[in-house]
Amino acid sequence: MKDLKDILVLTGLRARLLLVAACLVCYAVSLRNDYSLDDDFAIYANQYVQKGLEGIPDILTHPYYTSSTLTFDYRPVASVTFAVEKQLFGNNPHVGHAVNLALYIIAVLLLLGVLTAVIGLERVPAFITALIFAVHPAHTEVVASIKNREELLSFIFCMLSFFALHRFFDQRKLKDLLLYGLLTIVCLLLSFASKLTSIPVIMIFGAMLWMQGRQRRAKLFYPILALVAIISIGYLVVILRMSNRPVYDLENPLVSYPGDLSAKIGTTAMALLFYFRFMWVPYPFSFFYGYNTIPVEHLGDPVAMLSVMLHLGLFIYGLILFFRKNLTGLLILSYFFAIALYSNILIPYTGIVSERALFFPSVWFIAAFVHWLYERLSAKKASATLRYVALSFLAIMITGYGTLDIVRVHQWHDTLSLMSSDIPHLNNSTLANYFYGCVLKNTAEVQPDTSGYRRYMRPAKEAFYRVNSLSPTYPYGYFRLGLIYRYDEYNGDSAFYYFNKAYEYNKEQTDIRYQYGRTQYEFGDMHRAADVFAALYKEIPTDTFTVFYHALLQLKLRNMQEGKRAADEFMSMAPNYYQAHFNMGIYYELSGDADNAAREYQRSVDLGCTDQLVYNYLIDYYATHGREQEADRFRRLRQ
């Protein structure tokens, strides 16, 4: 295909400069972006990252993320880079984006080298593959989200492991064999410790080495392949045992179909069809998929069957070419190995599908298409017109993809801009609307004026109403509305209704129980409120306001011994909170000790209490004792 080579005038340096330029054109705008989406728990809300260099030992010895109920897997490599950034630059998102962009450029350049030096592609299809990879919009999430640096680092170390393994088989001396064998293992483990995205590379290694005839050197081939597989799978088992991250039905509805093989295969087919379509037409984008965005389909569904036939045919075609030692076959099989992790066929994938899931598989998909096209255009019977038509098609594709990149990176400016751009086509996603509502609510609560508050709170409430409509038994939409009405809009009746609905569907979650118990107290059901807080007190006896309400309710119900004990405990926990003195005032009032009751109520008012009953008690107390000046003070406060 000499004419195409002449048009591109590809030298090693020129090709690399063009790739760097493509990355900069598409992603330089990200340098102006802020933190977004999951950057909070990965960076500025991560206690270990925020310690800077001092936090690195904790990063290396703890799971990626841990909460009271969840434990994610082990991904220390990216977190170490975040800690270094924190030490040097503070919490600076612009530095984080710059590092991500630099890593992406390195990843693209390494990919070009692997395709030519290791896989064996000619320089033209290798360059076109790397160029399409560089500008493909499916990768905007990985580059524009600082948290997804883990994907970039996993990819980079995976590419380095290709080089190390390739050099291993070229060595003759034992020390060199040991060196490159060790480098292969180290690069793989660093890749997996960044993120397990690259775990399918074990299968790709085996297929690549077989096609290259490495199995003829059986003394090296089988032991190194077995060692790589054993270490990799062993690492995977250890990491998965560390993780305690269940997938919920609103993230992936397949979890509601355990043992239903028809649903698993049908939905896997739908997920694969989504990925296949998104590789060609990467639009529209979504910050989250989940329930109702990719439907659960059984094997008999026509679209699912179409996808099954498409992918089965492509897989068989790849197998045939593979056994004929055609590189297109290796690349097709490599795509299937890589995408299987995210197809739902092995385990339900969080979110059911995602755009970042295509980062590693897209290499092989693009390379397979480009190599297949290049072979046909290189044939003698291919006309010059056909070649230029194909080149024009590729140019239009690359230009279109690059334009989409720039638009999408703008949308990634911050969490609110990202979600606002995507939510119009996510009307069926419960969690997408829930997340959007939470971000709007938080934004509304920091506005300096009423108009700003209404601008964000109105769509926040609409998002939570939509959540309740989509998933009527999901408690957290009701719960968030309860919080809005209780604390932002001071609408007790609506708060009571929504907290009751949340409690109806989840009687275990601590925050829901707390707010439910509080509204029960405020609306006069003391016994129910007391039961709720007595149970909470047993579970979280160190939570300050749980102790307060437990003491208050026990006193109100005349359980004086338990009420006084809990009130004393709360006083020792929070002596400068007005609630502590308020409880003691109630105890002394009910015990008939008017002097001590007045003293404690006085102290509670000095610390901020505005309870009208306290004012009334103090007015009566001081008036009775002839202290009208103090009584007048509380009359003025009562007004």
* Packed helices 327-339 and 302-323: angle between N→C axes, nearest 10 degrees: 140
What is the rounded distance in angstroms from the CA atom of residue 555 to the CA atom of residue 548? 11
For residue 4, the model assigns a pLDDT of 46
What is the rounded distance in angstroms from the CA atom of residue 15 to the CA atom of residue 432? 40
- Residue where a domain terminates, one of 523, 539, 567: 523
Same domain for 432 and 498, yes or no, is: yes
- Residue 494 in domain: yes
Same domain for 604 and 638, yes or no, is: yes
Q: pLDDT tens across 359-375, in order?
A: 999 999 999 999 999 99
- Residue 581 in domain: yes
What is the rounded distance in angstroms from the CA atom of residue 520 to the CA atom of residue 527? 9
What is the rounded distance in angstroms from the CA atom of residue 97 to the CA atom of residue 200? 28
> For residues 75 and 82, which has the higher predicted lDDT (pLDDT)?
82
**Contact by Cβ (8 Å): 553, 536:** no
Q: What is the mean pLDDT of residues 207-223?
A: 78
What is the rounded distance in angstroms from the CA atom of residue 492 to the CA atom of residue 486? 6
Query: Is the pLDDT at 6 greater than 80, yes or no?
Result: no
The three-state secondary structure class of 281 is coil
For residue 82, the model assigns a pLDDT of 96
Same domain for 578 and 614, yes or no, is: yes
Backbone torsions φ then ψ of 575, nearest 5 degrees: -65, -20
260 confidence band (pLDDT: 50, 70, 90): confident
What is the rounded distance in angstroms from the CA atom of residue 350 to the CA atom of residue 64? 16
- Residue where a domain terminates, one of 506, 523, 540: 523
Q: What is the mean pLDDT of residues 430-439?
A: 96
Same domain for 631 and 543, yes or no, is: yes
For residue 217, the model assigns a pLDDT of 64
- Residue 433 in domain: yes
Which residues are CB-neighbours of 369 under 8 A, at least 6 positions away? none
The single residue listed with the structure tokens 């560089």 is 134
The identity of residue 155, as a single letter, is: F
Q: Which structural domain range is residue 548 located in?
A: 528-639
- Residue where a domain terminates, one of 523, 541, 569: 523
Indicate the pTM of the whole model: 0.89
* Average pLDDT along the chain: 91
Q: pLDDT tens across 103-152, in order?
A: 999 999 999 999 999 999 999 999 999 999 999 999 999 999 999 999 99
Q: pLDDT tens across 263-296, in order?
A: 999 999 999 999 999 999 999 999 999 887 888 8
**Contact by Cβ (8 Å): 287, 419:** yes
For residue 8, the model assigns a pLDDT of 46
**Contact by Cβ (8 Å): 550, 533:** yes
Same domain for 518 and 574, yes or no, is: no
**Contact by Cβ (8 Å): 10, 127:** yes
Write down the H helix ranges in 574-627.
Answer: 578-590, 594-606, 612-624
For residue 172, the model assigns a pLDDT of 80
Angle at 366 between CA 362 and CA 372, to 5 degrees: 150
- Residue 26 in domain: no
Same domain for 451 and 507, yes or no, is: yes
**Contact by Cβ (8 Å): 213, 190:** no
What is the rounded distance in angstroms from the CA atom of residue 339 to the CA atom of residue 360? 8
For residue 621, the model assigns a pLDDT of 92
For residue 216, the model assigns a pLDDT of 64
- Residue 371 in domain: no
For residue 284, the model assigns a pLDDT of 94
470 confidence band (pLDDT: 50, 70, 90): very high
- Residue 611 in domain: yes
For residue 13, the model assigns a pLDDT of 86
For residue 117, the model assigns a pLDDT of 93
Which residues are CB-neighbours of 518 under 8 A, at least 6 positions away? 529, 549
Q: Picking from 55-69, 383-397, 403-417, 456-470, which range would have the lowest pLDDT averaged per residue?
A: 55-69
Report the range out of 151-160, 183-192, 348-357, 388-397 with the highest average pLDDT: 151-160
CATH classification at residue 471: 1.25.40.10
Same domain for 634 and 532, yes or no, is: yes
Query: Is the pLDDT at 41 greater than 50, yes or no?
Result: yes
For residue 215, the model assigns a pLDDT of 67
**9 in the Ramachandran plot: left (φ > 0), alpha (ψ -120 to 50) or beta?**
left
Write down the H helix ranges in 28-173.
Answer: 39, 56-61, 76-89, 93-113, 123-135, 140-144, 149-168
For residue 268, the model assigns a pLDDT of 93
What is the rounded distance in angstroms from the CA atom of residue 129 to the CA atom of residue 123? 10
Domain count, the chain: 2
For residue 630, the model assigns a pLDDT of 87
Rg (CA), the chain: 31
As a whole-number percent, the residues of the chain with pLDDT over 90 amount to 72
Same domain for 473 and 566, yes or no, is: no
- Residue 232 in domain: no
441 confidence band (pLDDT: 50, 70, 90): very high
Q: What is the mean pLDDT of residues 37-61?
A: 90
Same domain for 517 and 468, yes or no, is: yes
What is the rounded distance in angstroms from the CA atom of residue 352 to the CA atom of residue 343? 8
Same domain for 436 and 498, yes or no, is: yes
- Residue 149 in domain: no
As a whole-number percent, the residues of the chain with pLDDT over 70 amount to 95
Same domain for 594 and 542, yes or no, is: yes
Query: Is the pLDDT at 5 greater than 70, yes or no?
Result: no
**Contact by Cβ (8 Å): 232, 192:** yes
Query: Is the pLDDT at 11 greater than 50, yes or no?
Result: yes
Same domain for 501 and 551, yes or no, is: no
Q: Pull the structure tokens for residue 70.
A: 């969840």
For residue 67, the model assigns a pLDDT of 66
What is the rounded distance in angstroms from the CA atom of residue 181 to the CA atom of residue 161? 10
Q: What is the mean pLDDT of residues 610-637?
A: 89
